[in-house]
Amino acid sequence: MGEVAATMKIMPTGVDVDLEELKDKIIEVIPEGAEYGTHEIEPVAFGLKAIVMVVIVGDIEGGTEKVEEAFAAVEGVESVTVTDVGRPV
């Protein structure tokens, strides 16, 4: 299969969550077989912002599922959604 770049939208539990701290916690839990690509902070609504992160996923069982589960388990994460999957640039 090779590597794919998965773009994930990570919603915090609220506007009071420190997104830089949350991003660091998320990067720490990336499972073996996947690696951090890039991220940006995206405004959503009413002061709420999301972390949009690209994760390079190799040939790991379950594809992005393990990454999504790891991210969702981090304190301060409300939801994780894969918005795009493609070839790494």
Give me the CATH number covering residue 77.
Answer: 3.30.70.60
pLDDT digits (tens, 9 = 90+) for 32-66: 989 999 999 999 999 999 999 999 998 667 779 99
pTM of the model: 0.91
Question: Which domain covers residue 55, as residue numbers?
Answer: 4-86
Nearest alpha carbon to residue 62 among 82, 46, 76: 82
pLDDT digits (tens, 9 = 90+) for 10-24: 999 999 999 999 999
Nearest alpha carbon to residue 4 among 33, 40, 43: 33
Half-sphere exposure of 65 (CA within 13 A, CB side): 5
Domain total of the chain: 1
Separation in Å, CA 54 to CA 8, 35, 64, 69: 6, 9, 11, 15
Percentages helix, strand, coil for the chain, rounded to the nearest 5?
A: 20, 45, 35
